[in-house]
């Protein structure tokens, strides 16, 4: 039984260290922050979604952007209106991203496996009024890049 606890502690130690590093950088940049541990996120493995029943830390920046620190990556989620989503130039995004409706969040309008040239028509055809725009980061990436994207999104 002790091995299960040690296994979880190893995973969460890495997650918590990264969470604290991100919070430190964001706080030093003057952002308003809140954070907590939340479960019920979904990750895509192959063509299927898996519900993450375990809690992960989520840092909310200026009540607008959520940064989640998951087991093997960091993600940044930003909520946009349909009108805003239609005016984004997706061809110049700084990194791979996903766009999905907030009501039917398992139906991607765009991800790395879909045609970026179809994204605007999918937004137009969607019954959604708000969308989630998500960027993923590896644990090894420079925190400065994450901060740069946060700052850019907050100034849109």
Which range of residues forms the domain containing residue 20? 2-154
CATH number for 150: 3.30.930.10
Helix, strand, coil share (%) of the chain residues, nearest 5: 35, 35, 30
Tens digits of per-residue pLDDT, 65-106? Answer: 999 999 989 999 999 999 999 999 898 887 789 999 998 877
CA distance 155 to 36: 25
DSSP H/E element including 65: strand 65-69
Whole-number pLDDT of residue 5: 92
Judge contact between 50 and 42, C-beta under 8 A.
yes
Judge contact between 25 and 143, C-beta under 8 A.
yes
Q: For residue 97, which phi and psi values (nearest 5 degrees)?
A: -145, 170
Q: How many domains does the chain have?
A: 1
């Amino acid at each position: 039984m002790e091995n299960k606890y040690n296994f979880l502690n190893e995973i969460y130690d890495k997650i918590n260290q990264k969470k604290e590093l991100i919070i430190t950088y964001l706080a030093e940049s003057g952002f308003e922050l809140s954070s907590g541990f939340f479960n019920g996120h979904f990750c895509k493995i192959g063509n299927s979604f898996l519900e993450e029943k375990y809690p992960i830390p989520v840092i909310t920046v200026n009540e607008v952007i959520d940064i989640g620190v998951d087991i093997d990556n960091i993600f940044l989620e930003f909520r946009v209106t349909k009108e805003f989503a239609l005016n984004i130039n997706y061809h110049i995004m700084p990194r791979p991203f996903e766009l999905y409706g907030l009501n039917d969040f398992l139906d991607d309008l765009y991800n790395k496996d879909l045609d970026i040239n179809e994204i605007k028509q999918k937004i137009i055809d969607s019954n959604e009024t708000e969308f989630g725009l998500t960027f993923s980061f590896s644990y090894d990436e420079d925190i400065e890049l994450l901060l740069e994207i946060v700052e850019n999104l907050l100034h849109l």
